[in-house]
Chain A
Amino acid sequence: RKEVEQDPGPFNVPEGATVAFNCTYSNSASQSFFWYRQDCRKEPKLLMSVYSSGNEDGRFTAQLNRASQYISLLIRDSKLSDSATYLCVAIIKAAGNKLTFGGGTRVLVKP
């Protein structure tokens, strides 16, 4: 089993709709979490951190559920430009800050 798992998608989303997807992690010692965005044939870029209390950045909302060991990303009012692959990252500080990326969830926003 992979340490960080994501549904690869694609999630086909009508423009203006809301989409949400999760990322599960297997190591309960994971302490820090992030979402990165990667456009086709480009490098990943940090989208947002994930805080225990949940956090919002414009149309994007990230949440952490420690009991069920997953993080989520919700995108409201989807734009065509939101089409990308979204990668989650878990960091295990107790293991020397071991950092693991998920395989990514592909989102396609269509007009």
Chain B
Amino acid sequence: DAGVIQSPRHEVTEMGQEVTLRCKPISGHDYLFWYRQTMMRGLELLIYFNNNVPIDDSGMPEDRFSAKMPNASFSTLKIQPSEPRDSAVYFCASGVYNEQFFGPGTRLTVL
């Protein structure tokens, strides 16, 4: 199994641009999580899905952020418009609720 796959691995964009992060979970996992990690705030849960349905999006910082999971093998996290304070590493994780397998992350830099 290839594990959780995220793309792109690195993204550099300018303020105001739309950013789309992609995640392919491990096959058979019912849960999918999106996290953001920064030095200042640590690892924050943004949103998670169970069987493709969003369960808790209380961690999504504001309306500029949106996440979708159209099927069991794909999810996106979109930021529009992006701002410099969105710069962080974004992780996707899948698994059962108690045991999560993280992807390698997308390092986002917004200039």
Contacts and interface: CB of A to CB of B under 8 A. Distances in A.
Interface string B31-45: 000000000001111
Given A96-B55, A97-B97, A98-B56, A43 B43 contact: no
A9 interface: no
A42 interface: yes
Contacts of B97: 91, 97, 99
What does DSSP make chain B's interface, helix, strand, loop or mixed?
strand
Interface of A: 32, 34, 42-46, 49, 87, 91, 96-104
Interface of B: 42-45, 48, 55-56, 91, 97-105
Given A91-B98, A99-B97, 17 more contacts: A34-B99, A42-B104, A43-B91, A44-B43, A44-B102, A45-B102, A46-B99, A87-B43, A91-B97, A96-B55, A99-B45, A99-B48, A100-B45, A101-B44, A101-B45, A103-B42, A104-B42
